[in-house]
A and B are shown apart, each in its own frame.
Chain A
Amino acid sequence: QQQVKQSPQSLIVQKGGISIINCAYENTAFDYFPWYQQFPGKGPALLIAIRPDVSEKKEGRFTISFNKSAKQFSLHIMDSQPGDSATYFCAASSGSSNSGYALNFGKGTSLLVTP
């Protein structure tokens, strides 16, 4: 059962545009929400992460918006560049030793930024 639902599956954005990827979760025990970027043949790399006590976090061109009541969070990539073309995964984890702190991943979004 997918604990984190991610959309869209794929996204095409023109250079300079805004890329938006959305995720939703059900487990209210989740308290850590990271976004990862993955290039083909490589492991995921952490982009940005947020805790549920804030509604927004910005790092450079990347912003996470978090809506605790709706159990949704999203990634915004401002001024998207061709080098941003990759697969993006949202994830969530619980701060409980029972869960092993394991990350639950969304299905991923393949982003293509056209020149």
Chain B
Amino acid sequence: GAVVSQHPSRVICKSGTSVKIECRSLDFQATTMFWYRQFPKQSLMLMATSNEGSKATYEQGVEKDKFLINHASLTLSTLTVTSAHPEDSSFYICSAKSGTGRGYTFGSGTRLTVV
């Protein structure tokens, strides 16, 4: 089946530094990538949607200059958290979709802790 590999699974960084999270679709072309943020015991909140080769569309309230999304190829999308602060600590999850199909494949998530 479709697999999305997300790395790293855990990262601890110092306040003010930047962190990059990668999601790769291993056996299909991810024409659309979704990035979610999840706080403990809460639901997944959509941060942004990106289509390969296009600029990401950010949800209301999500700072596009802080959460940089790159989707330069059909198999790779990255989320960079710039100038991270403790309040950015969360679980970040990517999800990939191919074409107009309705199958969404989720990555295993990245636990970001900013100290």
Contact = CB atoms under 8 A, between A and B. Distances in A.
- Quick one: which of B57, B97, B102 has the most chain A CB within 10 A? B102
Nearest to A31: B102
Interface residues of A, number: 23
Interface string A95-115: 100001111111110100000
B113 interface: no
B20 to A, nearest CB: 18
Give the interface residue-count category, chain B: 20 to 34
A30 to B, nearest CB: 11
A107 B43 contact: yes
Given A41-B109, A43-B6, A43-B93, A103 B43 contact: no
Interface string B87-115: 00001010101001011101111010000
Given A32-B102, A43-B106, A106 B111 contact: no
A102 B93 contact: no
Given A41-B111, A105-B43, A49 B49 contact: no
A87 to B, nearest CB: 8
A12 interface: no
Contacts of B97: 101
Contacts of A110: 41
Interface of B: 6, 32, 34, 41-44, 46, 49, 57, 91, 93, 95, 97, 100, 102-104, 106-109, 111
Please give me the 10 A-B residue pairs with the lowest Cβ-Cβ distance, nearest first. A43-B106, A100-B49, A43-B109, A43-B108, A32-B102, A107-B43, A105-B43, A105-B44, A43-B93, A44-B106
23 contacts: A32-B102, A34-B104, A36-B106, A41-B91, A41-B109, A42-B108, A43-B107, A43-B108, A44-B44, A45-B106, A89-B43, A93-B102, A100-B34, A101-B97, A101-B100, A102-B34, A102-B49, A103-B46, A103-B95, A104-B46, A105-B44, A107-B43, A108-B43
